[in-house]
Amino acid sequence: MSRSGLFISFEGIDGAGKSSHIDGLAQAFRAQGRNVTLSREPGGTPLAEKLRELVLNDPMDALTEALLIFAARRDHLCQVIEPALARGDVVLCDRFTDATFAYQGAGRGFDTNLLSILERMAQTGVAPEPDLMREPDLTVWFDLAPEVAAERLAGARVPDRFESQPVEFFRRVAQGYADRAAAAPQRFARIDAAQDRHRVWQQLTSVFVRKGWLSIMVPTPGAVA
């Protein structure tokens, strides 16, 4: 019996710790016999990775930034996400469209009505159902105070042009995520990312157990503990 694909995105401000848990979750799904596709945004394809480098490092206006991000997303959907879902894979994606509304919309103050138009254009017509606008089946939101995230990032690496933004920018981004979660509560699962990694992992896996996507609570993998 074939399994339906699952599309799961992971969101949160820089420093929230989401990326460190995605590999562990992939291991948990594979241990239960699922094929897993890991990806990220912007990026996930050769073309989208080139656009990622531009978006993260080159100065540009807000509309150019949004257009490049949605162009990368369209290619990512066509080349990676939709084929993986058609195979029945679990797709784990580090960021998706909620990040665009949080960073470009709330953070930069870009017109969210225009972002909604771009979202509809880029994410429709890629699925087998021609009128479906592809969205994640679940979005896991790692919620963390911007001040705590800034402390975690301090000295970790050379910041890109988003990570180098002031704390006030990330306060707006965090509120953008909160607004997206409030607008689609059935799709979002909030994780309290201020707790230690073990407790964050417990919160994360319990979400998937409740949904029936993992059969048991999974011990914290060594890479996450």
Q: Is 12 annotated as a binding residue?
A: yes
Give the containing element (helix H, strand E) for 191: strand 188-192
The strand pairing partners of 40, in sequence order, are: 94
Cα–Cα distance for residue pair 213/69, rounded to 1 Å: 30
Q: Is 81 annotated as a binding residue?
A: no
Q: Is 176 annotated as a binding residue?
A: no
Q: Is 17 annotated as a binding residue?
A: yes
Q: Is 19 annotated as a binding residue?
A: yes
Measured at the CA of 156, the angle between CA 159 and CA 70, to 5 degrees, comes to 40
Query: What tokens does 76 get?
Result: 């990512």
Q: Is 18 annotated as a binding residue?
A: yes
Query: What tokens does 158 get?
Result: 């050379």
Query: What tokens does 55 get?
Result: 């978006």
Query: Tokens 């060594």 belong to which residue?
Result: 222
Q: Is 61 annotated as a binding residue?
A: no
Q: Does residue 101 contact residue 112 with C-beta atoms inside 8 Å?
A: yes
Cα–Cα distance for residue pair 77/79, rounded to 1 Å: 6
Q: Is 15 annotated as a binding residue?
A: yes
Query: What tokens does 224 get?
Result: 């996450």
Binding residues for ATP, by number, are: 12-19
Binding residues, by number, are: 12-19
